[in-house]
């Protein structure tokens, strides 16, 4: 085996990963303006104020009893 070919075989994954990293970095550059419609203002919302109040609580249980 030639020492040069062994070096090339070991260096290939490094160069491939460097190429992928360079392409990913170039694809993420923020120099281009985003397409689409311009951003709108805030969405309209409705607001409800909650007040604590006491409510009656009752428990109704259905049951049967049997005498022995």
The 3-state secondary structure of the chain reads CCHHHHHHHHHHHHHHHHHHHHHHHHHCCCCCCCCCCCCCCCCCCCCCCCCCCCCCCCCCCCCCCCCC
pLDDT of residue 36: 75
Backbone angles phi, psi at 59, to 5 degrees: -120, 125
Using one digit for the tens of pLDDT, what is the confidence trace for 9-68? 778 888 999 999 888 887 766 666 667 777 788 889 999 999 999 999 998 888 888 876
- Check residue 33 and report its DSSP letter: P
Name the residue with tokens 């990293």. Answer: 21
pLDDT of residue 53: 94
pLDDT classification of 5: cutoffs 50, 70, 90: confident
Q: State the pTM of this model.
A: 0.36
């Amino acid at each position: 085996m030639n020492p040069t070919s062994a070096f090339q075989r070991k260096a290939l994954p490094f160069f491939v990963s460097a190429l992928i990293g360079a392409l990913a970095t170039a694809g993420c550059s923020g120099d281009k303006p985003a397409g689409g419609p311009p951003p709108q203002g805030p969405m309209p919302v409705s607001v409800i104020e909650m007040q604590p109040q006491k409510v009656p609580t009752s428990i109704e249980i259905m049951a049967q009893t049997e005498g022995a």
